């Protein structure tokens, strides 16, 4: 039986392309799941902070932030946001940059590691991204994060204790160190089986092709090993 294909994703919940990339990956996974010999896949999310110096309560909207952060005219930022909103819609996501509350995301990353320890990382990742990009919820303050944690099935007191103690901050920093070791400078970034890198919000077909190719090679390797074992008997 072939080992599952590992997909390690470096992302930030405040990265619009990361949510699109996540959804495109899910679409690709759904497509290959229908194959007669469907690939087995294990997906793990890793922390990456795009703007670690951002205050928890940023005074301004997303246009203010990007105009200041990237030094672009407001009209150019508006056009950029309109473009990504359209691409998100094609992926089935309704972005609301007019509602978005820009914030520091380190506590959200800590919460994701807490959720991972409780086998709820995928649900927590989806809830945080949806809250941030489509609902205009604040995802930088502990009280708000605890509310979201409870929605996916985490215990409120345990989540609060984890966030207030910085228990998972070392894991966040370890993810970031690994990203630097890989040379990752932008997200989303997908590492397949620890050896193949895919950068950006690629279309579902990209993931389908890579997964099918790797799974076929796994099958060939397994068959060769089986033949060798039979010959040795």
Domain that holds residue 188: 5-232
- Give the pLDDT mean for 27-47: 97
Using the Cα atoms of residue 34, residue 187, residue 137 and residue 78 in order, give the sign of their dihedral: negative
pLDDT at 94: 98
Number of domains in the chain: 1
Structure confidence by residue, pLDDT tens digits, 150-183: 999 999 999 999 999 999 999 999 999 999 999 9
Q: Provide the β-strand partners of residue 47.
A: 11
For the cut 60, the answer to whether the pLDDT of residue 227 exceeds it is no
What is the chain's mean pLDDT, rounded? 94
Strand duo 5-11 + 41-47: pairing:
parallel
Kindly state the tokens that stand for 77: 């930022």
Q: Percent of the chain having pLDDT more than 70?
A: 94
User: Which CATH number does the domain housing residue 79 bear?
Assistant: 3.40.30.10
């Amino acid at each position: 039986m072939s080992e599952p294909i590992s997909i390690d994703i470096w992302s930030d919940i405040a990265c619009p392309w990361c949510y699109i990339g996540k959804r495109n990956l899910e679409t690709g996974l759904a497509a290959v799941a229908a194959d007669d010999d469907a690939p087995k896949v294990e997906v793990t999310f890793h922390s990456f902070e795009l703007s670690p110096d951002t205050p928890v309560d940023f005074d301004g909207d997303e246009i203010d932030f990007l105009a200041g952060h990237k030094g672009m005219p407001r009209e150019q930022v508006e056009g950029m946001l309109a473009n990504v909103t359209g691409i998100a819609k094609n992926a089935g996501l309704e972005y609301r940059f007019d509602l978005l509350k820009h914030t520091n995301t380190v506590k959200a990353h800590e919460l994701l590691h807490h959720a991972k320890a409780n086998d709820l990382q995928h649900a927590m990742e989806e809830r945080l991204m949806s809250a941030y990009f489509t609902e205009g919820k604040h995802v930088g303050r502990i009280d708000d994060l605890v509310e979201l944690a409870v929605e996916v099935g985490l215990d409120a007191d345990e989540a609060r204790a984890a966030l207030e103690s910085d228990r998972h901050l070392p894991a966040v920093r370890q993810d970031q160190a690994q990203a630097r070791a890989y040379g990752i400078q932008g997200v989303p970034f997908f590492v397949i089986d620890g050896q193949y890198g895919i950068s950006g919000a690629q279309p579902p077909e990209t993931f389908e092709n890579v997964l099918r190719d790797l799974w076929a090679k796994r099958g060939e390797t397994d068959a060769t090993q089986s033949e060798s074992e039979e010959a040795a008997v």
